[in-house]
């Protein structure tokens, strides 16, 4: 049978033994069942002259020796590897009980005894000790009086979480209470499974939260985790992983280190550390189980990692050795608050093997501390214990050749036992004893809350059962010697407190110093990480700066994260934001859209105002169009001046001089109306520009129509083609008036019902905001300009028919060409206007306005101005040709004479 199987058989056999004992008692009161062998337990007992006894379990040794391979008998294993830290805890319990017994304010009429065992950091030994507490080695049945003959109140221990879980399952069957001082596993908070368990150390749910908050504080997102293969490590890492996931952080890997050394499993954990890109690793383990892993880290020369320590090893002298600093320097972690216990140092120094020859633990302590052998002692001690790099265990057991003289001085020692500078778990031991004492004091005073009072019969010390003390443990509050408030909840957990945040430094003496750099305060509902900015943090990195632990570096502003399929969230690619989207902060999961008035800059890290587009006066195109508009207006005004100066000449008076002036003024209006199209549009400019343009063209075209109709009727030839007809001037003005009034009516309705307005044209994926005019009702706008087109068409038709009229022969032909230019410009305008956007769309319309206006101005008035100014001899009645008679005057001309006169006149002009 393998050794592990033999241990299981031993545990099972002990359990069966208990139940068989009960069964035997019920079957036959005369039959008794006794142990054939005693457990190999060592410890301290002081029960005489005391009212009750408190039990204690402490890891004074690191481990148990292997048992015999004999199948004939099962032996309880011996212990090896003296643990100075565990020995100090044991002594602290004794010191605290003595202190309480001397006080008059706590249990003044009663005193406490103790029975303490070494559990050797072994579940087997812890269970053996629990059985002894319940039965006593000389008793045949379980009861509440142990081998001392005194009532057992509660047990302090058993150290690690796994041992406490095993012991609790035995103790709760007999309602014996257990108070843990180092068992922080969260599973012990389950009152349904562990109703008899209380603690003076915070649950790991607080520590896991603290570790995650520390990781968030330093910006780490890719963190490895290694835990001991026991309840403490597995449940601690489970909580840690859950909180990491809720915080959207990633665990790069999670490995366990075995409780019983296995080279294969250890290499798996070490290789995972070496190959992982995670620079920060959480170690959730006890110092004893962690020690072989530390040796592997040293052997593989892993120096580029930063370690986050749990409270179980952050201040352990077993790990915090100067030779390990190159590998574990800069370690940061959480520790139970440090305390100074008055009188403890003197009590620890008050130890000597000569005081009690039967005190085997003191003798072993002396031998191990001074590397000597106490005279006449058979106690061996372990000089060294390590696992070498081949996976084989090297155990050196020795009886030193040098005898102890008894004159050795404890002051010369530098070991954990006498080091009272880091009393953390030690202080928890003290508080565990006080927790029991205060609960018993409440019991003696019947101090119980109202919710439990009705169902509780007040017991009397010492005649009470351990389970009756249960209600007095819940919601207990007391103040410690150093002013700390201890408060437990209904589940037996500490509900408020804090952790010290420690950082490993190297002091001037070459030793590792635990430097406090902050605190983590917690209550049942609030957590607070306090890390002052001036904290002297030391990082064991090449640059001695904060390490960066990421799977992928944080995406820079302007990019977003894209998860890699099948990989953790912390492993991703960085892709640029799309146009119109930005990421201003590093590491954004999504890009944020810019507002409608903004657009992303080229770097995609900031929203900037969109470019505002309109045909501005300041730009070259706008400036040129303004010059053309003003020049056109000046030309039209110059023509008017010429006409005014030469108003009495035949050419200026030909075919209604007043209509000519109206045409000239309307052209001034049209060319100047184009200026309203330039510049940032406003509501009033949007309304004014189209209406002004429409009215200007209406006035111009209706005046031209008045001219062309008079020519048309004057040249209407009867069937005999010998009669010319004239038209009274009043009718021409009436035509202009009717057309303009009609256009004004339509424009007024347009402006009142659906007026144009300024809008921002914001198109998707466009970096510009186009300020333009929304023309309101397209129907009204088309109606306005359709009327102008109709006038232009009538003008063209009438003047085309009358183009050969002798009177004012220039005007007929010139108006015909002017209207042709007008139609060509506006027909070309339509496709050009529809195919452009923004300011160029406005520019096309202005070009059309100016081109058509210049065309009309040039074709109608330029030939006349040429003759008036440069050929004044031609500006005579004879040259102009047959005058059209006034109203009611009739001129009879033969068709031949008309044709002859026309040809003569045209020839004369062309020759000139």
Write the pLDDT tens digit of every residue in 823-854.
888 888 888 888 888 788 888 988 989 998 99
* Full-model pTM: 0.67
CB 596 within 8 A of CB 642: no
E-assigned strand segments in 594-680: 598-600, 607-609, 611-613
- The CA distances from residue 766 to 592, 594, 601, 763, in Å, are 16, 12, 12, 5
E-assigned strand segments in 789-911: 891-892
The mean-pLDDT minimum among 128-142, 360-374, 683-697, 890-904 falls in 890-904
In the chain, what is the greatest distance between 2 CA atoms, to the nearest angstrom? 168
Beta strand pairing call for 598-600 and 607-609: antiparallel
Higher pLDDT, 241 or 460: 241
E-assigned strand segments in 813-912: 891-892
Write the pLDDT tens digit of every residue in 410-458.
988 888 899 888 899 999 999 999 999 998 888 888 766 555 555 555 6
User: In 10 A of CB 348, how many CB atoms?
Assistant: 20
- CA-based R_g, the chain, Å: 54
- Backbone φ/ψ region at 838: left (φ over 0), alpha (ψ -120 to 50), beta: left
Helix axes 161-171, 123-135, angle to 10 degrees: 30
Alpha helices in 648-767 (DSSP H): 650-653, 657-673, 683-714, 729-753
- The CA distances from residue 455 to 438, 448, 450, 452, 465, in Å, are 21, 11, 10, 6, 15
| DSSP label at residue 470 | H
CB 837 within 8 A of CB 615: no
Write the pLDDT tens digit of every residue in 250-287.
999 999 998 888 889 999 999 999 999 999 999 999 88
Torsion of CA 507, 508, 511, 512, to 10 degrees: 10
Please, what is the average pLDDT of the chain? 81
3-state secondary structure of 273: helix
CB 257 within 8 A of CB 265: yes
Distance CA 799, CA 81 (A): 126
CB 42 within 8 A of CB 117: yes
Helix axes 895-911, 809-834, angle to 10 degrees: 70
Supply the pLDDT for residue 9: 52
Supply the pLDDT for residue 457: 58
Distance CA 316, CA 200 (A): 19
DSSP bridge partners of 309: 283, 333
Supply the pLDDT for residue 22: 45
Distance CA 515, CA 496 (A): 23
DSSP string of 530-544?
E--TT------STTS
Distance CA 63, CA 286 (A): 13
Count, residues in the chain = 912
Q: Looking up tokens 């605190």, which residue turns up?
A: 519
- Confidence band for 806, pLDDT divided at 50, 70 and 90: low
Q: Looking up tokens 């069964």, which residue turns up?
A: 23
Residues 390-397: contacts with CB within 8 Å, 24+ apart?
Answer: 390/263, 391/261, 391/263, 393/261, 395/80, 397/80
DSSP bridge partners of 225: 254, 282
Distance CA 272, CA 255 (A): 8
* Residue 141, preceding peptide bond in cis (omega within 30° of 0): no
Asked whether residue 28 carries a pLDDT value surpassing 50, the answer given is no
């Amino acid at each position: 049978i393998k050794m592990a199987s033999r241990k299981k058989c031993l545990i099972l056999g002990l359990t069966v033994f208990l139940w068989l004992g009960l069964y035997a008692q019920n079957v036959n009161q005369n039959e008794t069942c006794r142990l054939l062998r005693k457990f190999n337990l060592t410890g301290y007992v002081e029960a005489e002259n005391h009212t009750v006894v408190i039990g204690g379990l402490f890891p004074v040794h690191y481990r148990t020796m292997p048992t015999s391979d004999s199948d004939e008998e099962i032996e309880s294993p011996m212990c090896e590897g003296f643990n100075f830290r565990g020995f100090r805890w044991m002594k602290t319990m004794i010191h605290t009980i003595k202190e309480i017994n001397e006080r008059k304010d706590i249990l003044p009429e009663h005193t406490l005894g103790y029975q303490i065992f070494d559990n050797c950091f072994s579940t087997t030994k812890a269970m053996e000790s629990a059985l002894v507490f319940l039965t006593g080695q000389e008793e045949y049945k379980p009861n509440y009086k142990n081998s001392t003959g005194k009532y057992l109140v509660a047990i302090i221990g058993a150290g690690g979480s796994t041992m406490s879980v095993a012991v609790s399952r035995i103790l709760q069957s007999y309602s014996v209470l257990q108070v843990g001082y180092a068992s922080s596993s969260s599973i012990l908070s389950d009152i349904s499974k562990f109703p008899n368990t209380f603690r003076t150390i915070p649950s790991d749910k607080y520590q896991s939260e603290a570790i995650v908050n520390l990781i968030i504080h330093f910006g780490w997102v890719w963190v490895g985790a290694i835990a001991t293969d026991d309840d403490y490590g597995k449940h601690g890492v489970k909580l840690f992983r859950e909180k990491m996931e809720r915080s959207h952080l990633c665990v790069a890997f999670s490995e366990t280190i075995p409780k019983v050394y296995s080279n294969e499993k250890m290499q798996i954990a070490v290789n995972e550390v070496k190959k992982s890109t995670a620079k920060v690793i959480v170690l959730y383990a006890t110092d004893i189980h962690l020690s072989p892993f530390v040796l592997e880290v040293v052997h593989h020369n892993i120096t580029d990692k930063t370690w986050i320590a749990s409270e179980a090893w952050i201040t352990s002298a077993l790990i915090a050795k100067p030779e390990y600093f190159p590998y574990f320097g800069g370690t940061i972690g959480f520790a139970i608050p440090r305390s100074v216990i008055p009188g403890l140092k003197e009590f620890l120094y008050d130890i000597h093997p000569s005081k009690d020859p039967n005190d085997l633990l003191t003798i072993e302590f002396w031998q191990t501390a001074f590397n000597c052998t106490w005279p006449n002692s058979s106690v061996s001690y372990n000089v060294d214990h390590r696992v070498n790099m081949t996976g084989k265990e090297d155990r050196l057991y020795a009886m030193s050749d040098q005898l102890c003289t008894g004159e050795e001085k404890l002051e010369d020692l530098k070991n954990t036992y006498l080091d009272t500078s880091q009393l953390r778990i030690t202080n928890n031991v003290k508080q565990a004893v006080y927790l029991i004492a205060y609960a018993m004091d409440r019991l003696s005073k019947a101090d119980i809350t109202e919710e439990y009072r009705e169902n509780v019969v007040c017991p009397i010390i010492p005649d009470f059962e351990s389970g009756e003390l249960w209600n007095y443990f819940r919601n207990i509050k007391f103040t410690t010697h150093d002013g700390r408030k201890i408060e437990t909840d209904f589940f037996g957990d500490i509900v408020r407190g804090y952790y010290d945040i420690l950082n490993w430094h190297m002091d001037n003496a070459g030793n590792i110093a635990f430097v406090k750099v902050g605190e983590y305060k917690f209550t049942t509902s609030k957590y607070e990480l306090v890390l002052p900015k001036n904290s002297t943090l030391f990082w064991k990195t090449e640059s001695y700066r904060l390490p960066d632990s990421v799977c992928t570096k944080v995406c820079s502003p302007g990019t977003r994260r894209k998860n890699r399929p099948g990989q953790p969230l912390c492993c991703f690619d960085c892709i640029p934001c799309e146009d119109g989207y930005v990421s201003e902060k590093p590491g954004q999961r999504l890009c944020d859209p810019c507002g409608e008035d903004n657009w992303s800059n080229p770097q995609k890290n900031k929203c900037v105002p969109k470019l505002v587009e309109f045909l501005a006066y300041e730009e070259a195109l706008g400036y040129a169009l303004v010059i053309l508009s003003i020049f056109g207006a000046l030309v039209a005004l110059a023509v008017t001046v010429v006409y005014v100066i030469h108003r009495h000449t035949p050419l200026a008076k030909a075919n209604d001089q007043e209509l000519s002036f109206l045409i000239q003024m309307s052209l001034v209006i049209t060319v100047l109306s184009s200026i309203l199209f330039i510049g940032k549009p406003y509501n009033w400019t949007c309304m004014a520009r189209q209406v002004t343009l429409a009215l200007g063209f209406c006035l111009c075209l209706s005046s031209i129509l008045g001219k062309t109709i008079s020519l048309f009727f004057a040249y209407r030839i009867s069937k005999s083609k010998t009669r010319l007809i004239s038209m009274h001037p009043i009718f021409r003005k009436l035509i202009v008036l009717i057309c303009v009034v009609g256009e004004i009516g339509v424009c007024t309705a347009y402006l009142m019902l659906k007026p144009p307005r300024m809008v921002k044209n914001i198109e998707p994926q466009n970096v510009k905001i186009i300020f333009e005019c929304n023309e309101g009702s397209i129907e009204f706008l088309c109606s306005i300009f359709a009327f102008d087109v109709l006038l232009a068409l009538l003008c063209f038709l009438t003047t085309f028919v009358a183009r050969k009229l002798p009177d004012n022969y220039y005007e007929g032909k010139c108006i015909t060409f002017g209207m042709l230019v007008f139609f060509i410009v506006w027909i070309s305008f339509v496709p050009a206007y529809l195919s452009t956007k923004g300011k160029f769309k406005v520019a096309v319309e202005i070009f059309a306005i100016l081109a058509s206006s210049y065309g009309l101005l040039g074709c109608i008035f330029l030939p006349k101005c040429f003759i008036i100014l440069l050929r004044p001899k031609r500006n005579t009645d004879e040259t102009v040709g047959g005058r059209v008679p006034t109203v009611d005057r009739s001129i009879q001309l033969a068709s031949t004479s008309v044709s002859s006169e026309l040809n003569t006149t045209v020839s004369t002009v062309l020759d000139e």
